[in-house]
Amino acid sequence: MSTWANLGLQDSASPLMEQLIFFHDHALLILVMITVLVGYLMFMLFFNNYVNRFLLHGQLIEMIWTILPAIILLFIAFPSLRLLYLLDEINEPSVTLKSIGHQWYWSYEYSDFNNIEFDSYMIPTNELPTDGFRLLDVDNRIVLPMNSQIRILVTAADVIHSWTIPALGVKVDGTPGRLNQTNFFMNRPGLFYGQCSEICGANHSFMPIVIESVPTNYFIKWISN
Ligand code: CUA
């Protein structure tokens, strides 16, 4: 989860998020190079006294400064498309979790396991334990096994919500009347926090998501109660 003064991305907990961070850093580096170059050129213009009274056209330089930025943009476009299709790929999931957005809580269904279902509400500040995270902890956490492919089906019962977990690189809208799909692979144990990210009404900020990533045998123990 994010803590004080964490302005960047959270540490990744899945291979896809790791790739997203690599792409972010790659794009940012290109952005910095462009900004420095253009900034330098604009700054240097202030100290330029040269005048060319006969300048009407410059075909060659126009060609260069049109094609060159286009080529630079390809270095962002191709890795971006690679990531886009990588995020969309589903790799034989071993567990499927269904998340349903409500005003204002999430409910979950484990369709593979006797259709276990439960609601997950945020713990109000006045009921929060001293080691709890305010506006982020829930009464019933999702428990999922680490090191396995997990499929998430997202929908909503009333208005549009969005099931978002930054550390896993997951962000899927839950839309009434639709069923969206995504998948992820958690490569370490821990608690992963998320929040709804579609403006869904008065308590939009108060329907967080908590995933408990545990070893597979622990998950089996939990699911069989
Ligand atoms: Cu649900 Cu915002």
Residues 125, 214 within the same domain: yes
Residues 70, 111 within the same domain: no
Q: What CATH number should be reported for the domain holding residue 137?
A: 2.60.40.420
- Quote the ligand 1 centre to 131 CA distance (angstroms): 25
Encode 29-58: b = buried (16+ Cβ within 10 Å), e = exposed.
eeeeeeeeeeeeeeeeeeeeeeeeeeeeee
Residue span of the structural domain in which 33 resides:
15-88
The stretch 7-15 carries a mean pLDDT of 94
Ligand 1 close to Cβ of residue 101 (< 6 A) = yes
65-98 tens-digit pLDDT = 999 999 999 999 999 999 999 999 988 999 999 9
Last residue of a domain, one of 62, 88, 114: 88
- Quote the ligand 1 centre to 106 CA distance (angstroms): 9
- What element of type H or E holds 97? strand 95-102
Answer whether 0.85 is exceeded by the pTM. yes
Q: How many domains does the chain have?
A: 2
Q: Would you state the pLDDT for residue 210?
A: 97
Would you say residue 160 lies in a domain?
yes
23-71 tens-digit pLDDT = 999 999 999 999 999 999 999 999 998 888 998 999 999 999 999 999 9
Q: What CATH number should be reported for the domain holding residue 37?
A: 1.10.287.90
